[in-house]
Amino acid sequence: MGYNSRWSLVYQKIRKDFGFHIDGDKLAAKVLDKIIETKKSPPITLLKRKINNKNVTIFGAGPDLENILKEKKFLNKTLLAADGATTALIQHNILPDIIVTDLDGKIEDQVEANSRGSIVVVHAHGDNIDEIKKYVPRFKGYLIGTTQLDPSNYKNLYNFGGFTDGDRAAYMAAFFKPKKIYLAAFDFEKIGRYSFTKNVENKLKKLKWCKYLLKKLEEEVELIYI
């Protein structure tokens, strides 16, 4: 399911840095796995068809997001939205092909996009168990689940790598071998309003990990920042 054992070591470092407990991740994965089983889960080949050999743009929630959307230089690409960025796209009448989320953005916009055809890739971790239970049943379109753990322990979950919504989207895209990956509105020092951030200090810490993980990914694929 796209899992590389090296991620076990990376996640150990992340958990230690943030004080996360693996038991929470296990419970979140178990809850999501069970819900996904009852949902409209597409074959993973659908993601491949959307991404493989395509130009892909991934939208982060940095301060430049709205300006980038106004320029509309990305319309011939497969569009991925990282969680809260979905709201900005919807407000600009742009429907993302894929949404990568851990459910801390504006959920009603993600549900709407999903009903209109966006594939939603929901991530389970120890801090969003309540959100998984509350919001995942609301998605009626295509839904794929991911975990921070070894996905072979679950029937319906994948692990493509990555930690934050933005870098997880990049790792997922890279897994399916696109032509090019463009990263739009990725800012590692400033927080945009579409991040819907409640804990600024924690968010900035996560952005440092995002930057680190994307640099690691650049050892394997080219990432183009726009």
Structural domain boundaries in the chain: 6-225
Residue 43 gets which letter from DSSP?
Answer: P
Element (H, E) at 100: strand 98-101
pLDDT digits (tens, 9 = 90+) for 24-66: 999 999 999 999 998 877 789 999 999 999 999 999 999 999 9
Q: Are 59 and 89 in contact (CB under 8 A)?
A: yes
Mean pLDDT value of segment 199-224: 95
Q: What is the DSSP letter of 42?
A: P
Chain position carrying tokens 């889960």: 41
- Residue type for position 193: R
> Is 1 or 210 the better-scoring residue by pLDDT?
210
pTM of the model: 0.95
Nearest to 202 by CA among 66, 104, 136, 109: 104
Binned at pLDDT 50, 70 and 90, residue 212 comes out as very high
* 193 pLDDT more than 80: yes
Tell me the CA end-to-end span of the chain in Å, nearest whole number. 30
Question: Residue 3's pLDDT is what?
Answer: 55
pLDDT digits (tens, 9 = 90+) for 63-80: 999 999 998 877 779 999
CA separation (Å) from 181 to 3, 29, 58, 77?
Answer: 20, 28, 7, 10
pLDDT for the residue 42: 77
Q: What SS3 state is found at 123?
A: strand
For the structural domain made of 6-225, what CATH number should be given?
3.90.1480
CA distance linking residue 32 with residue 27, whole number of Å: 9
* Contact (CB, 8 A) for 98 and 119: yes
**Cβ distance 146 to 2 under 8 Å?**
no
